[in-house]
């Protein structure tokens, strides 16, 4: 089973598309319950700038998936990259869609 996240679906990220400075964004990650994750940490890195850490607690369950979610706001516009780390009591290892390799993706761009 895979960790599920698709930034193009409101089920996982809302609102869709670019964010304005200070706009609230909600991210949701579906993690197979067999992973035993206690929470997910999303790291957002501004291009050439600071990194913001968003802790995503378990908020729901759907079938065989635990759902982790959080709201956040970015005060500065620009290009951001992100990836998620799943944490469980057994190990503090990276659980991404591609084994242990962080996946960097654009989350927002503005002027």
**Residues of the chain under the 70 pLDDT cut:** 89-111
Q: Quick check: helix, strand or coil at residue 22?
A: coil
d(CA 62, CA 60): 7
Q: What pLDDT does residue 29 have?
A: 93
**Domain 13-106: CATH class, spelled out:** mainly beta
Domain boundaries, the chain: 13-106
| 59 in Cβ contact with 68 (< 8 Å) | yes
Q: What pLDDT does residue 63 have?
A: 96
Reply yes or no: is the peptide bond before residue 15 cis, omega within 30 of 0.
yes
Q: What pLDDT does residue 94 have?
A: 43
Q: What pLDDT does residue 64 have?
A: 96
Residue with tokens 């197979």: 32
Q: What pLDDT does residue 99 have?
A: 39
Q: What pLDDT does residue 108 have?
A: 38
Query: Model pTM?
Result: 0.76
């Amino acid at each position: 089973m895979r960790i599920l996240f698709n930034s193009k679906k409101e089920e996982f990220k809302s609102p869709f598309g670019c964010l304005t400075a200070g706009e609230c964004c909600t991210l949701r990650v579906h993690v197979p319950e067999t992973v035993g994750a206690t929470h997910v940490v999303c790291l957002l890195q501004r291009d050439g700038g600071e990194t913001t850490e968003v802790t995503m607690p378990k908020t729901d369950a759907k079938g065989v998936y635990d759902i982790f979610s959080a709201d956040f706001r970015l005060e500065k516009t620009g290009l951001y990259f992100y990836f998620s780390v799943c944490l469980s009591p057994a190990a503090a290892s990276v659980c991404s869609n591609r084994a242990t390799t962080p996946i960097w993706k654009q989350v927002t761009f503005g002027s």
